[in-house]
Homo-oligomer: A and B are copies of this chain.
């Protein structure tokens, strides 16, 4: 028997607040406009560090509960010092984390109690592209990213698979990767 102290919470998702938030957005669509930010600083060699602190959303400036810093570097085999995962590895975290958050939200909204969700992500890349040694057939980025979910919950297989499918349909990172995302680069010198 499971004792639920907050009847509106499933999978750690406050479903009542989730639906209230959606209602608020329906009433005032401009609160859905967000801007996320990162500040990166070069540490030497191929090593850099980004900080995430503030963002804009719901018509106001907002702060994360705490500032997060993450490091990237190239491994020794790619002539770096391996002070952190490579930049491309963070994309793999992004897709896994986005789909997983969506699975939890969708499951909560559908009343499905999850026991366990894990995933492995593999990104295949031929570095001939970034080395400038391609004959034009090798791209710079991943040839393919594969996400394998392992899901356990109080529902049949079809229902559990449906959670992932709905999460995919609403995933910001899935869209950002599978469809072209405009990236503008400005340079200030001096």
Contact = CB atoms under 8 A, between A and B. Distances in A.
A80 B101 contact: yes
Interface residues of A, number: 129
24 contacts: A13-B45, A14-B79, A17-B79, A33-B126, A35-B122, A36-B86, A40-B96, A40-B118, A40-B120, A42-B114, A46-B104, A48-B101, A64-B82, A72-B98, A72-B101, A87-B172, A87-B173, A91-B91, A91-B176, A140-B174, A141-B177, A145-B184, A164-B187, A178-B182
Interface of A: 11-14, 17-18, 21-22, 25-26, 29, 32-42, 44-48, 50, 52, 55, 57-58, 62, 64-65, 68, 70-82, 84-101, 103-105, 114, 116-133, 139-152, 157, 160-161, 164, 168, 170-190
